[in-house]
Structure formats: C-alpha cells, structure tokens
Structure 1
Amino acid sequence: MTPHPRRRPAVFISAGESSGDHHGAAVAREIRRKLPEARLLGIGGAEMDAAGVSRIAGLDELAVMGGAEVLRRLPAFLRLEQTIKRLFVTEDVRLFLPIDYPGLNLRLARSARRQGRRVLYYIAPQVWAWREGRARKLRRDCDRVLTVLPFEAPLLERYGVRAEFVGHPLLDGPRPPGDGAGSVIGLFPGSRAQEVRCMLPVFAHAARQLSRRHPDLDFLIARPPHLPESLYAEAGFPTADAREVTEQSRAALTKSGTITLELALAGVPMVVGYRMGRLEWAIGRRLVRVPSIVLVNLVAESPVVPEFLQDRLTAERAAEALEALVGEEGPERREMLRGFGVVRERLGKPGCAARVARHVIDLLESPGGPGAPC
C-alpha cells in the first residue's frame, strides 16, 4: 500500500483507559495550540474526542481486566490492531504517541518503528514493578519515553532507553481541595467493572463495620460515568463522581493505582486494598519486584499508606486501619499527611502536557520522518 502524501502532519494518540483519555486530551489541546495544522487521530474516550482527536475506537472496546477476558476478546483486539497499522500508512502518520496501556501500545509501537515512524511513549509502562523485558522493547521501538514518576527515568536509562521525567499530569489544572473536614469516607473500588465486582463487596463490608462504630460517618462510592449504577446497588451506599467524592472525603478506602496519588495531592488520608483473580495473583506475585504496589509509597520511598493485598484484604483489617485515620489529631493521620507533602514535592511542577507537546513537535521537526532510519 502506497502512503498518500499530505502536507499536514498526522499524530496518532493511543489511550486505552479513562485516565489515558484525560491525559491524551490535555496533550492534544497543547499540540493544537502549538501546531494548529496537525491532524490528530487515535483511540480513546470522550475527552480526546472533545479535544479534536478523530477516534477510530472507544474505551468500551478496550477496557478489560484479567487473562480470561483478554483471551475472550482477543479476535476483536487483533482486528483493531490491524486496522490501526493500515491507518498508519493510509493517513501517513508521522508520529505515534502511545499513553500507558502497554499490551496494545507496545505492539503498535513496534509496527510504527518498523515503518520508520517516530514513536514517543508517554506514561511509561511500569517496568519497575514487573516484566522488565518491556524495557528492552522501549529501547528498541521508541525514540523517547516520557515518565511521570521521578524514579522511572533513571531506571529506564539503565536499560539504554532515552527517557525523561516530565512531571505528573495530576499537577496540571485544579485539584479537589479534600481538606478532610467533613464526615464522609470515600470508597474507590476502581474504574473497570471487573475491579468493582472484585473490590466493592469487601469495601462495602468494611464501611458497614466502621459505620456501626461511628454512626456519624457517611459513605460515598466513586463511580465513573461509563459504569452503570446497577453495578453498585448491592453495596447500599450512594455514588458520585470521583472528584465529588474526593472533595467531600475525610478519609478513603481505595484500590491501588493513580487514584492514590490523586487522593494524596488532595490531602485525603487513605487505606489501600486490592484483589484479583487467583491465577493472576499467583503469576503476579512471582513477577513483582517492588516493596509496594502503592504509588504514594513508591514516590515517598517509605510506607506512608497501609496496603492490604489479596487474602490480607479483609473488611476487618480495612475498617481498623480506616478508623485510625478518622480522628482529628490521630498520629497515623498526621504522619500520613506529612508523607503526602513529600510526594507532592517529588512529582515535579505543573505543565506536563505542554512539555509532552514540545517533545511531539521536536520529533516532528527533527530529521527522520517516515521511511528514514531511526
């Protein structure tokens, strides 16, 4: 297939989850501001759509959790992958910008690289936690890798990856105040249906136990807009969007992931719990090479937040740990908030999206477009 020559540069942005959609939209707006003639294509969600990205697939086609569901939907994933590879050629894409979501994005990066297209990976796959072989793929298939956690770039550089820390996108824009003055305990069971089904029953049980001891407390569940209210009905607590829950929360019980950084930046003390399928857990525990799965603890380089994983996640343990954070002057609460200050300092300065956009333009303008050796 012969590529069609085009004057306007094309950038393909690939985000597979709601957080990637949000961060991709911010970068898309900055690219349009700095390079208005650029054509933006991609896969993502409503935010990228609103930012002017012409989408060929949505988040509902990509959101999976666990090996069984991945296998069930593998044919659809492979069809989408082939569609994107053809689009790289027919739309003469000059730069591929994958955002996290390594399962699909690393394969697409390989294809783009083989075609001589620029590859700028934003929000690097977490090779520091497991599957360090991904670092070799990043070195082979990416012109640059942009990290959002301060310790990632030095680690990747040890593998020969050209990496740069650009700050964390959570620092861009307003953050929920989360001053901890209310009586709400926020429950954050995840943004995927499989996570909610796995985490919410034990989260809700812990909340009921804590409620019996502290009847003055209220409980609110964070529900992303793409998940139905019916998924939360058995928990017995009202739902709201994550920002509203964060704003009202005195403390939180949450799954692991970026939400822990969001809560830390908002000053909301938390307890972290996580469960997955027994097969995935058996495999993952043999691969994980870090002392914590909580990003707050990894950035702070200390156990700021208590975490309960797999069988250790019980309603009793979670309720007890939450109870220590409810009191106005409790030592656990004070020490955790001090740790959040360390995290805030280490995440860099605002302006992450603008820095990513500058890397996009730099690669577009540097020698080595389609067909040139990288």
Structure 2
Amino acid sequence: MKYYIIAGEASGDLHASNLIRELKLKDTQADFRCWGGDLMQQQGAVIVKHYRDLAFMGFTEVLLNLGTIVRNLTFCKQDIMNYRPDGVILVDYPGFNLRIAGFLHQKGIPVVYYISPQVWAWKQSRVKTIRRVVDKMLVILPFENKFYSEHGVEAEFVGHPLLDALSGKSFSPVTQQANRPVVALLPGSRKQEIRAVLPEMLKVVPRFPEVDFIIAGVCSVDDKFYAKLAGKQKVTVLKGRTYDLLKQSSAALVTSGTATLETALIGTPEVVCYKGGAISYMIAKRLVKVKFISLVNLIMDREVVKELIQQDLSTDNLEKELRLLLYDKGRKTAIVNDFDDLRQKLGGPGASARAAATIEVFLRLRLAESE
C-alpha cells in the first residue's frame, strides 16, 4: 500500500519513523511519501518537506508566517492528489493536519490520526472537526480515550511510543568525569523557543561551579546559534545524544513538550521550563484548560515535577529547584518513585507495533470496500 504521512515536529519524526519501521514489517509492499525529518528518511520514506521548515510557534508567529503556511497547505494537497495514497496518516501538528484532514475527507481518502492533538488542553471545538473528518483516531495518553468517548469520538489507546524508543536502548557516557555531577539543558528544538528559554537556563550556571552543564543540541540548529546564546558561559553543546546525556545527568532543565516525558521515562529528575512571547502567552493563558503544562504532571494528575512558567522562570527559582534535585535525597527519591508509577500508567513497549497493526488492517478493509 501507499502511505502518505505528515509529521511537522521533531517528536513526530521520531514516532513516525518507528511507525514506518513497523508498517514495513506488516506490509512488505509499503511505500512512504512524507512530511517529516531525518529519522523517517532513514526508514526509507521520501521526505517532501522537512519539519524544520514547518515549525511556527505561538499566535503572532503564525500570523507573521501565514503566507508560507497557506502555500504549504496548497502544495501538500496537490502532492497528495498526485501521489494517490491508500491512506494518509497525520501525526499531531493539528493546525496544519486538521486542515488537510478536511480536504482528504472531501476527496474520500482515508484519514488516520496517530498521536492526537491536545484538544483536551485547549481548542476543544476541534473535537467536532475530528469527529467529522478523521476516520481512525489512535491515542497515546491514557486519559485521552475517556476524553474522546465523552465527546462522541471512538478512539483507540495504543500506548506511548516513547517506551518503544527507550526499550532495550544502550546508553553511552557523554563525559568521563565521574566526580562531577552533570546537568542537562534541553531548551527545545526550534530556534524560537531556544532563544526564549536557553538564556534563562544559562543564568544559573555560575551558581553551580561544581557542576558540568551540557546543552542537548539538535542537528537542525547550527553551532553558531548556540554559541551566540551561550556567550562566555562554560557549557558544552552535545548534538544527537540527548538520551545518553539524560541517562548520565543528575538533573535536567527541560523546555515543556515531549522532552519532559522523555526525561521522566529515562529517570532523570527535572525542572520544566517555559517562556513565550508576551502576547502569545497572554492569549494562551486564557484559552488553556489544564492545570499543568508538562505531560508528566498531566498524566499523573498532580505536580510531580516543578513547572517554572513565564515570570516564574527566574534565576533564583531555577537555582532553588536545581539544588533540591541535586542535593535533597528525599526530593530526588520521591520523583524517581513517581516516574516508576508514570511508566505503569503508559503501559509497556509495543505502541508502534500496535498502531501499525491497527492502521494496516483498517486501510486494507477500506481498500477492499472501495473495490
């Protein structure tokens, strides 16, 4: 079968690449044309657009790039029609993907949504759109099933694919200085969020001369960008080895997003950081309907990790929370125990295989019905 997959972010690239791997095991004739990244390409997908050219954050940023977004939508629709896939798999990235889903619904092309938009957090009106234009919804967070059921949408919980990415993974040390603790800095994957959060993280570095701070860099961001933000601070940038870095780190400062969950599943105590544009933040604060911004706290339904948001993301607050993680054994033990409970809630490995099996069977049935 021919699969068209759209993933607009780094996390989507990771999960879609694992899905592609599993789909190839189920369907030996599988052909993939995708919007995504390097990991999907490594699995044999033809990449039409790279996610680094698609990421626009916040309300004002979207408005400033509206022309580019419209052109991308037009191109995507035409590219799908030229490719004529047996089904389209949408991976998160809701602002773009739900518009594509509406178009596909009109054209009678089956739509599978893998990794639900966070409609439970804000823009719950999107549930009506999903109910109308999405043929199969696969969710990865345990509470999403109940949410969709309450809104009249049939959804299937397949488990979280991060457990697949981490299952059986071997880790390599990133530094040989065993006598010095390491703190990982994860400022995000987009230049916009890195520019907003990394300078705040770096301000705490001089207060911990006994610690090695290492920035988890992403390959799509050039070295000069990190160097300019770091200035004279004594930090190292390590690209492409985030999991190795987290495994060796005593603690981590992490920008809100999927990375907060990755850090927890590896078992590294963390502080969650967020800082956005003033206008975007003011709008979001009025629209968001959840108590927390980190997936860890949302899944556990209580504060497991400290969240420092906007004005609370100060040097003094970062120092206070980081000292607790590094030197308060009780605090560290409590977090690690909570992380064990988190893994249980998410189920075991196998999410990618379960999702692939569901998608392959669903599309074959749809294909048979159309013949």
What CA distance in whole angstroms lies between the structure 2 residues aligned with 1:200 and 1:158? 39
2:206 is aligned to: 208
TM-superposed CA distance for 1:288, in Å, is: 1.0
Match of 2:219 in 1: 225
Q: Which amino acid in 2 is paired with 1:68?
A: T
* 2:82 counterpart letter in structure 1: T
Equivalent position of 2:308 in the other structure: 308
SS at match of 2:289: coil
Q: Offset of 1:201 from its aligned partner?
A: 0.8
Contact kept, 8 Å, 2:110 with 2:366, in 1: the verdict is: no
Match of 2:203, SS state, is helix
Cα offset, 1:207, TM superposition:
2.5
- How much has 1:40 moved relative to structure 2? 1.1
* CA deviation string 1:62-88 (max 9, x = no partner): 022223332333222222212221233
Q: 1:339 maps to which residue?
A: 338
Secondary structure, counterpart of 1:221 in structure 2:
strand
- Provide the secondary structure at the position in 1 that maps to 2:204: helix
- Counterpart contact for 1:254–1:271, Cα < 8 Å: yes
| Cα distance in structure 2, aligned partners of 1:370 and 1:109 | 20
Give the ranges of 4+ consecutive aligned residues of structure 1 lying more than 4 Å apart after TM superposition: 175-182, 368-372
**Equivalent AA in structure 1 for residue 288 of structure 2:** V
2:111 corresponding residue in structure 1: 119
Gaps of 5+ in 2: none
**Once the 2 structures are TM-superposed, how far is the Cα of residue 370 of structure 1 from its aligned partner?**
9.2
Size of the aligned set, in residue pairs, is 359
Confirm or deny that 1:70 pairs with 2:62: yes
Aligned partners of 1:145 and 1:164 also within 8 Å: yes
2:255 pairs with 1:255? yes
Map Cα deviations across residues 301-352 of structure 1 (whole Å, 9 max, x no partner): 221111111111101101101101112x621111111111111111111111
User: Identity of paired residues, percent?
Assistant: 36
- The aligned amino acid for 2:97 is N
CA deviation string 1:89-141 (max 9, x = no partner): 22222211000111111101111111111111011000111110111111111
What TM-score comes out, normalization by structure 1 length? Answer: 0.91
Q: Secondary structure at the match of 1:48?
A: helix
Q: Give the aligned partner of residue 365 of structure 2.
A: 366
Aligned twin of 1:350: 349
- SS at structure 2 position matched to 1:112: helix
Aligned to 1:88: 80
Residues in 2 aligned to 1:106 and 1:348: alpha-carbon distance in whole angstroms:
28
Q: How many angstroms does 1:257 deviate by?
A: 1.1
* 5+ long unaligned stretches in structure 1: 1-8
Distance in 2 (alpha carbons) for counterparts of 1:181 and 1:321 = 22
Aligned residue runs from structure 1 range 34-113, under 5 A: 34-113=26-105
* TM superposition shift of 1:177: 6.0
Provide TM-score, normalisation by structure 2: 0.92
1:150 to 142, 150, 153: 142
Alpha-carbon separation, structure 2, partners of 1:269 and 1:67: 31
Give the CA deviation at 1:368: 6.2
